[in-house]
Structure 1
Amino acid sequence: MSISIKIQPNTYIDSVSLMALSTRANQLTGVDQAIIAMATEMNKEVMKNVGLFTTEIEQAQTSDLVIAVEADNSMDSEELFKEIEQLMTEKKEKGTSRSAEQYTTIETAKKAIPEANLAVISVNGQYAAREARKALANDLHVMMFSDNVSVQEEIQLKDLAHEKGLLMMGPDCGTAIINNVGLCFANKVRKGSIGIVGASGTGSQEISVRIHEFGEGVSQLIGTGGRDLSEAVGGRMMLDAIDALEADPDTKVIVLISKPPAKIVEEKILARVRQSTKPVVIWFIGSEPRPNEEGIYFEKMSKAAALRAVTLAGIDKNSLDVHPLNLPLIDEVRAKLNPEQRYIRGLFTGGTLCDEAMFTAKERFSDVYSNIATDAEHLLHFGEPSQAHTFIDFGADEFTNGKPHPMIDPSNRIARFVEEAVDPAVGVILMDFVLGYGSHADPVGVMVPYMKEAKEKAAAEGRHLEIIGYVLGTDLDKQDINEQVEKLTAIGATYASSSQNAGLLAREFVVKGAE
């Protein structure tokens, strides 16, 4: 293998586009690994870690674009760079929207499109706050996909947006649906009467998809960014979003989603909700259960929260297929597993989906570990092997610094899956496959060869390897959800109908071995 480097001075491409380009470059014939990224210190560190760092990269400036490729020695580097540049050209052509005009500043874009009222910010974190201020100054709502923005900058931006009556979604906001338009990672769902405020991207996607499945729709899905309910930020965006949905005549029911908030912030949110004239469903993942109050409904799992919301919106629960757990299947799988196959390994692209499965397992088992665990005793650090029941969020910062999100590039998860599948103590491998805007065109398909080989190898060794797959998507998404499910079941994997059911099935399958 040989490493080839190309530096393009003063060439900026946003992080979302770079993630997609890196994924496509890694699929080129002869390429072992490729990174296309801005020459920030963080990205340079990533290139060091994967062995793609050179003196040229060290000398590159933050404003420079780096193309780093490790490929077979027989490959001509110039031809490789031509292929990558062609990918970049195709991306620009596909990105052309209402005109061929491209705007280099928010100010010129707003002047040319005066009816525009929202800006999506996806630039390196050190520039993101500056661009968000420009957008707010031009009376634009902001969705900030960028992360690595300081807490102080986040507070200042949200205070400015509040003063101007604008939304400041983010930083690190991955999902929104505004006026039935999905932004960043989102699923195509019908318009309806349920408004969602989410400090969790895939959690918001899961609720929106279940609402769609149960026959209702989403009026607005407003993201807040993952830190919004921290003590420092104080729920600024969630409070403003509740106000917005309260004033929206199309919203009849409100759903709030977050990982466990800071206690002082939770009380602040509840004080606001108690004043609401609309029913509110709260799914704070992993929080201590609370009794329902008048007009306020607390749910501990995703499907239950969505079901509560649609019934409050007027849908008859008795008319719905709520997909109860398949109890005969649980008995069948338990009987197939050897006594030593005691453990679950959850490999997730969605952080909240990982959280829900992890908390479900923790209700039954004490030996549950994760890279997103909140207690040091059960925290797995980057690169550490799995222990007992392990749940990994491949979308966490340590996996995505300088690399595409796993919803786009599954390579990190594939490598870990291959490791976990040969462990004789593993009974169940649980995975999510997220469809919709921004996600991989065939997330199940890229895993099929590895899943098939793993099951065949396990069978040859006298083991049954149970693979559970959950496909998060709707019949309206660009990826065909029925095809995705068929690919799972065709290789003998179990399809779970929701995130909630996926976690429950995984837990119940291994209970016999754990007792």
Structure 2
Amino acid sequence: MSTKIVIKPNTYFDSVSLMSLSTKANQIEGVEQAVIAMGTEMNKEVLRNVGLITPELEAVKTGDLMIVVKAATDELSENAYAEIEKLFTQKTTSKGASEIKFPTIDSAAQNIPDANLAVISVNGAFAAREARKALENDLHVMLFSDNVSIEDEIELKKLAHEKGLLMMGPDCGTAIIGNVGLCFANKVRKGNVGIVGASGTGSQEISVRVHDFGGGVSQLIGTGGRDLTEQVGGIMMLDGMKALNDDEETKVIVLISKPPAKSVEEKVLAEIQYCKKPVVVCFIGGSEEDVVKAGGHFAKTTKEAALKAVVLAGADESTINKRALNLPLIEEIKGKLSPEQKYIRGLFCGGTLCDESMYLAMEKYEDVYSNIPKTEEYRLEDVNVSQAHTFIDFGDDEYTKGKPHPMIDPTSRISRFLQEAKDPSVGVILMDFVIGFGSHEDPVGVMLPAIIKAKEEAAKEGRHLEILGYVLGTELDNQNFADQVAKLESAGVTIASSSTNAGLLARGFVEKGE
């Protein structure tokens, strides 16, 4: 075995670029493992965990670029490194001659006076500093970076609030501003539904369902996942609501989040009385009574939120294809499963998609476990070992530390999928496939060999393996939505038409009755 190590001092690349490059590097022929990352302590810990750390790598500084390639022979590792160098070159030359580069936010702001928004994706250790510079230059900020302290987040959001600017993030993965998708986003038609989301894939799902129901999106403002915690207090969601309330193109406002802190939820709901537009509230697991009392429109699921928003925006409900749940299909699949096949195993790239299916399962079953549970009682003892009904968010920090997000590189769940497929107690494996800007160019294609293999092995054992897939995207997305669905169907995967329907179908498939 040969390991090629190259250290480039004082050579900075943002985390999103390096994640993408690492994904491509690991696909080079002959590569057993490739790591392309900045020399942060977190990234060095990843190298320690996989047995690739050396004294020279231990000594690198945070501003140094590390390239580590492990292959079977010296020749293969050298060839792979040469290919990686080409990837860096392609990245810098494929964008076109019109691109202008600036070394700092200050210089960019001075030379582009019409700019009003900065998208920041740097190592978390430097992210707050760069976001502060952008705000001081009167730029709205979308902060993709994570690993930013909550104290810095509060300070940044207070500064933005005082200046009348948006501070989306940290750890904000999704936004659509002025019909332009930022970071992870789907291509949807422009319209009059505005979204404020403390969850990335939840916001994407609602934007996609609005598009599917014939509507369109005016703006999608992300807040970052911690915005509705007790400490942060919903600063960005409240400012987002006010921004959409003042936006002439927005006719209906939708709020989407995982369960917020109770005091913050009350604060957000109280703001509805000041909105001159209908507000649809989809807080997963939230209370209908509280929302209605505040003057909002309650939505239990993302699908219901999108439908209500489109109708409130003026669509004729009788003309909308609501993608009704296929009840005969539930009975058909139940008939294929043995009495022992009684559990759901949800393997998700999207955290809110995981949450939605998990909460729907919890309405029927008590023994629902996760790495992101509602209560600590149902937290998995070992995230690598499922218990009863299990729902895994592969985008959670424990899975993405020093690694690409599964929407960028979906290979992280393949081994877990094969593990679950061998379990005779599993009734259905549920998976999401997220397409759109920033996502893998063929997320279904990555999983397809494993799906086919698992199906074949289950058939040899005389066991039906039910795989339920949901593709989050639109026909406008570059990955070709129809092609992704067709690939799944060709492998015998059952297709759900929405995140909500995916959760309802999964829980129905394994229902055994009295």
Assess same fold via TM > 0.5: yes
Within a 5 Å distance, the mapping from 1:84-483 to structure 2 comes to: 84-96=84-96, 98-99=98-99, 101-290=100-289, 292-293=292-293, 295-380=295-380, 383-483=383-483
Q: When the two structures are superposed, what TM-score results if normalisation uses the length of structure 1?
A: 0.98
Unaligned runs of at least 5 residues, structure 1: none
| Aligned amino acid, residue 43 of structure 1 | N
Give 1:61's aligned residue.
61
Question: 8 Å contact 2:199–2:225 — kept in the other structure?
Answer: yes
Classify the secondary structure of the residue corresponding to 1:156. Answer: helix
The structural deviation recorded for 1:254 is: 0.2
| Cα RMSD (Å) | 1.3
| Aligned amino acid, residue 10 of structure 2 | N
CA distance in 1, matches of 2:76, 2:422: 37
Classify the secondary structure of the residue corresponding to 1:341. Answer: coil
The structural deviation recorded for 1:47 is: 1.3
Within a 5 Å distance, the mapping from 1:5-16 to structure 2 comes to: 5-16=5-16
The structural deviation recorded for 1:2 is: 2.9
Classify the secondary structure of the residue corresponding to 2:402. Answer: coil
Give 1:504's aligned residue.
504
Distance 1:8 1:74, change over 3 A: closer
Unaligned runs of at least 5 residues, structure 2: none
CA distance in 2, matches of 1:304, 1:284: 12
Q: When the two structures are superposed, what TM-score results if normalisation uses the length of structure 2?
A: 0.98
Classify the secondary structure of the residue corresponding to 1:445. Answer: helix
Distance 1:439 1:97, change over 3 A: farther
Within a 5 Å distance, the mapping from 1:483-502 to structure 2 comes to: 483-502=483-502
The structural deviation recorded for 1:383 is: 4.4
| Aligned amino acid, residue 365 of structure 1 | Y
The structural deviation recorded for 1:93 is: 1.7
CA distance in 1, matches of 2:364, 2:449: 32
CA distance in 2, matches of 1:68, 1:349: 26
Classify the secondary structure of the residue corresponding to 1:109. Answer: helix
| Aligned amino acid, residue 246 of structure 1 | N
The structural deviation recorded for 1:384 is: 3.0
Classify the secondary structure of the residue corresponding to 1:281. Answer: strand
CA distance in 1, matches of 2:483, 2:45: 39
Answer with 76-85 or 419-428: which moved more: 76-85
Q: For residues 190-229 of structure 1, what are the alpha-carbon distances to aligned partners after superposition, in whole Å with 9 as ceiling and x for unaligned? A: 1100100000000000000000011110110000000000
CA distance in 2, matches of 1:353, 1:382: 22
Count of paired positions: 513
CA distance in 2, matches of 1:381, 1:55: 34
The structural deviation recorded for 1:163 is: 1.1
Classify the secondary structure of the residue corresponding to 1:290. Answer: helix
CA distance in 2, matches of 1:358, 1:377: 15
| Aligned amino acid, residue 159 of structure 2 | L
Percent identity between matched residues is 66
Runs ≥4 in structure 1, deviation > 4 angstroms? none
| Aligned amino acid, residue 278 of structure 1 | K
Question: 8 Å contact 1:278–1:295 — kept in the other structure?
Answer: no
CA distance in 2, matches of 1:293, 1:469: 37
Classify the secondary structure of the residue corresponding to 2:445. Answer: coil
CA distance in 2, matches of 1:129, 1:63: 16
